[in-house]
A and B are shown apart, each in its own frame.
Chain A
Amino acid sequence: MTDPQRLETIMSRYAGVAADLIPVLQDIQDEFNYLPKDELKVVAQHLNVPLTRVYSVATFFKMFSLEPRGKHLIRVCLGTACHLRGGQRLVETVGRRLNVGPGHATEDLQFSLETVGCLGSCAQAPLMMIDDKYFGRMAVDKVPKILKPYKP
């Protein structure tokens, strides 16, 4: 499918009112893996909201990304418990392994690395997530083995 069609399919699911903005952006994020600029302009027109509003919402929420995200999203927890148990070292290790800084995607767009405030499973600190899967009681030396199945 070409891009206008993909967007059209998403927009056709909604009534086209301003309140649909966040659900529409979520669908675009799922479909495109980021929020492309041109698509956002079309969304603003369709929902009849100012482009500033769309930009404001898109930059406010962490689930949205204006840069292309990698195929797999790695979230490393830096909440209080994870922080105490070496979360920062975990981020650094993953970042070094994949050659990517937190908040960015690898060059081949295979991975995105992000830090989060809490993953809601503090008992298993330090914790990281790849896509929908949790990896608890992490240690730096477990990182290569965990990343392996996700590599191309």
Chain B
Amino acid sequence: MKNDSVSLTIDGKPVQVPAGTALLLAAKANNIDIPTLCYHPELKPEGHCRLCVVEIGTAPRTRLVNSCTYPAEPGLVVQTASAKVLASRRMVLELLLAQAPAGEHLKEMAAAMGVHETRFKKGDPAARCILCAQCVRTCREVVGVSAISMAFRTPKKRVATPFAEQSEACIGCGSCVFICPTNTIAYTEKDGIRTVWGRKFELQPCNKCGNYIAPKAQLEHWAKLTGDPVESFYVCKDCR
């Protein structure tokens, strides 16, 4: 059907994508790379990092938009590497470098784009969080428990559990730790105890092989989701 696909121009190249496709994905499908920090294919894009900005429209009426959230429109002219875009990206990186001076991934990315130093006042030298909200979105959309969220507002904005206490909703699954691109979230596992977000979770060993499967709280969460008795999860996937 004709209505389902739209034609637009990305970096001078005519492309066709299904209507509503985010510009980022439209570019990717045509082998045009746009750097991102907060984008993840499994999560709904929310446009936090502003690194994926592209310039749309024709001179002199152009503007910068987030390519991860902007849907493809018929006849749209998109530039992914114009002078304006590159300047904006470098600025975003400089600001992020000031906010999270300890983030190696960020530093590498910045260096690759020619940003080696930030002109802005650096915050806590050990800070790594870039507020991409991938952890928050994973917890909400994938895990489905919403144990963490953004709290306060800039410049105090941070990811936190409610009242900065141990979260009752947390199941200790560690998805937030896994998804975090900057290794910000503290996480330890020792003697059958997993510690994340300041709460200790007892790990359940497999009934057959004795290897730890997952925190008890997570297995209880599974049991609640599936309606099966929690004991049915006490065998690890290798022994099943």
**Chain A residues in contact with chain B, CB under 8 A?**
37, 40, 50-56, 59-60, 66
Contact = CB atoms under 8 A, between A and B. Distances in A.
Nearest to A66: B163
B153 A50 contact: no
A4 to B, nearest CB: 20
Contacts of A50: 140, 145-147, 149, 169
A56 B151 contact: yes
B80 interface: no
Interface of B: 140, 145-153, 160-163, 167-169
A66 B164 CA distance: 12
A59 B169 CA distance: 19
B149 A56 contact: yes
Contacts of A60: 150-153
Contacts of A51: 146, 162, 167-169
Contacts of A53: 146, 149
Contacts of A52: 146-149, 161-162, 167, 169
A55 B157 CA distance: 12
Contacts of B146: 50-53
A55 B161 CA distance: 8
30 contacts: A37-B163, A40-B162, A50-B145, A50-B149, A50-B169, A51-B146, A51-B167, A51-B168, A51-B169, A52-B146, A52-B148, A52-B149, A52-B161, A52-B162, A52-B167, A52-B169, A53-B146, A53-B149, A55-B151, A55-B160, A55-B162, A55-B163, A56-B149, A56-B150, A59-B151, A59-B153, A60-B150, A60-B151, A60-B152, A60-B153
Contacts of B161: 52
Given A52-B169, A53-B149, 20 more contacts: A40-B162, A50-B146, A50-B147, A50-B149, A51-B162, A51-B168, A52-B146, A52-B149, A52-B161, A52-B167, A53-B146, A54-B162, A55-B149, A55-B151, A56-B150, A56-B151, A60-B150, A60-B151, A60-B152, A60-B153
Contacts of B153: 59-60
Contacts of A59: 151-153
A66 to B, nearest CB: 8
B201 to A, nearest CB: 18
Nearest to A56: B149
B13 to A, nearest CB: 41
A55 B145 CA distance: 15
Highest count of chain B CB atoms <10 Å: which of A37, A50, A54, A66: A50
